[in-house]
Amino acid sequence: MAFTKTFKSFLINLGIMAGPSLKISDFAGFRKVLDSATKIAVLTGAGVSAESGIGTFRGPAGMWRTHNAMDLATLKAFEANPSLVWEFYEWRRSMAFNARPNKAHLALVEFENKCIKENRVFTLMTQNVDGLHIRAGSKNVFEIHGSLRKVKCTKCKLVYENTDVPICEALRGRGDPEKATTSDIPISDLPKCKNCSGLLRPDIVWFGEILDDNVLSKCVKALEACELFLVVGTSAIVYPAAGFAPFVQDRGVPVAEFNTDPISAVNFVFRGPCGTTLPEALGIDKE
Ligand SMILES: NC(=O)c1ccc[n+]([C@@H]2O[C@H](COP(=O)([O-])OP(=O)(O)OC[C@H]3O[C@@H](n4cnc5c(N)ncnc54)[C@H](O)[C@@H]3O)[C@@H](O)[C@H]2O)c1
Ligand SMILES: *[C@@H]1O[C@H](CO)[C@@H](O)[C@H](O)[C@H]1NC(C)=O
Ligand SMILES: [Zn+2]
């Protein structure tokens, strides 16, 4: 039984049929919509950094020692054992700071620069905490889950940038995921606030915590105004980001998903590594 290409795309876009190859992705159709949109919003997740060597939280890469990474990214885990959670973050910080932006990050930068020249509005929202979008050169970017590049004092609440590795002497060489050692660094040796010497924590919005009001309202503004929405490398399970695409679709605005394993029923689906699909879709074809 032979489906025509468009009927196949229709089924894939409905989420009824899986697209077996990139060829099915409608790059030409997408480019028409992209070229006529004056306000473009993009949401990225862990998948955009996968090709930079930073693991996502789903699957085997989501384990650190014997712990599910998502169980460590909570206030409860930090309060129960700040030493263990700081080891986990020491490891994540060194991974993120040593990683380099990939073609997907760079395509978003080039596309934003093009938008600026053409007086179009480009907004990037990321769930990633690795700082790679900012290091790549993205300008209008909101890190809705915070950043590994910042710390927050548990006492005076001061937030500031700190990219030291190790972040303190006691954490030197710690955090190796292969070493299942117990973690018992005393609080007095863990990272301390430069203002009040209180215990620092990573400036990350942990699971169960609320997002920064200011950041969220800027995202909502972008979602309310955009004429095209791109969802890149996110499983879109974690709220509120999971609600972004449905919110935009409700206004009849087209949504495009870029994922190795797309799940949503949206207008455009580009299956494959976003380091390949995104530059092509955005017309950034340079090597
Ligand atoms: N790099 C990071 O900063 C990082 C890494 C892991 C987890 N997290 C946090 O964990 C939460 C997890 O949610 P999430 O949706 O961002 O990640 P996720 O791990 O739930 O999902 C990642 C998605 O990316 C897709 N993917 C994997 N490789 C890809 C590639 N090369 N190209 C395109 N897609 C690819 C997967 O199919 C999956 O749908 C977020 O809140 C985030 O803050 C952040
Ligand atoms: C620094 O700490 C003091 C308490 O020691 C606090 O009153 C003050 O608000 C803090 N400063 C900043 C900038 O957060
Ligand atoms: Zn402090």
What average pLDDT does range 121-144 have in this prediction?
Answer: 97
Q: How many residues does the chain have?
A: 287
Are 144 and 215 in contact by the 8 Å Cβ rule? The answer is: yes
Are 74 and 85 in contact by the 8 Å Cβ rule? The answer is: no
What is the pLDDT at residue 10? 61
162 annotated binding-site participant: no
Tokens 């790679």 -> residue:
132
* Structure confidence by residue, pLDDT tens digits, 237-274: 777 778 899 899 889 999 999 999 987 667 899 999 99
115 annotated binding-site participant: no
Q: Model-level pTM? A: 0.89
45 annotated binding-site participant: yes
Task: Parse the chain into domains and list their residue ranges.
Answer: 1-54+101-145+210-287, 56-98+146-204
* CA pair distance 182, 1, nearest whole angstrom: 59
Q: Is the pLDDT of residue 78 over 90?
A: yes
119 annotated binding-site participant: no
For the CA of 158, the nearest atom of ligand 2: 14
Q: Does the Cβ of 273 fall within 6 Å of ligand 1?
A: yes
Q: Which residues of 133-158 are buried (b: 16+ CB within 10 A; e: fewer)?
A: bbebebeebbbbbbbbbbbbbbeeee
Name residues whose C-beta falls within 8 Å of residue 174's C-beta, 6 or more positions apart in sequence.
Answer: 87, 90, 91, 166, 183, 185
What is the pLDDT at residue 1? 46
Catalytic residue numbers read: 145
Q: How far is the CA of 227 from the centre of ligand 1 (A)?
A: 24
* Nearest protein CA to atom 27 of ligand 1, as residue: 47
* Structure confidence by residue, pLDDT tens digits, 7-16: 655 655 555 5
For the CA of 153, the nearest atom of ligand 2: 14
Homologous superfamily of the 56-98+146-204 domain (CATH): SIR2/SIRT2 'Small Domain' (3.30.1600.10)
Considering the segment(s) 1-54+101-145+210-287 as one domain, its CATH architecture is 3-Layer(aba) Sandwich (3.40)
Higher pLDDT, 116 or 184: 116
DSSP 75: H
Q: Does the Cβ of 70 fall within 6 Å of ligand 2?
A: no
The Cβ of residue 118 has, within 10 Å, a number of other Cβ atoms equal to: 10
Point out the least confidently predicted range of 5-19, 145-159, 193-207.
5-19
Q: Does the Cβ of 262 fall within 6 Å of ligand 1?
A: no
* CA pair distance 104, 230, nearest whole angstrom: 13
Q: Does the Cβ of 147 fall within 6 Å of ligand 1?
A: no
Tokens 């394993």 -> residue:
261
Three-point CA angle 31, 34, 37, nearest 5° = 150
DSSP 160: E
Q: Is the pLDDT of residue 77 over 50?
A: yes
For the CA of 157, the nearest atom of ligand 2: 14
218 membership: H or E segment, kind and range: helix 213-225
Tokens 């380091």 -> residue:
275
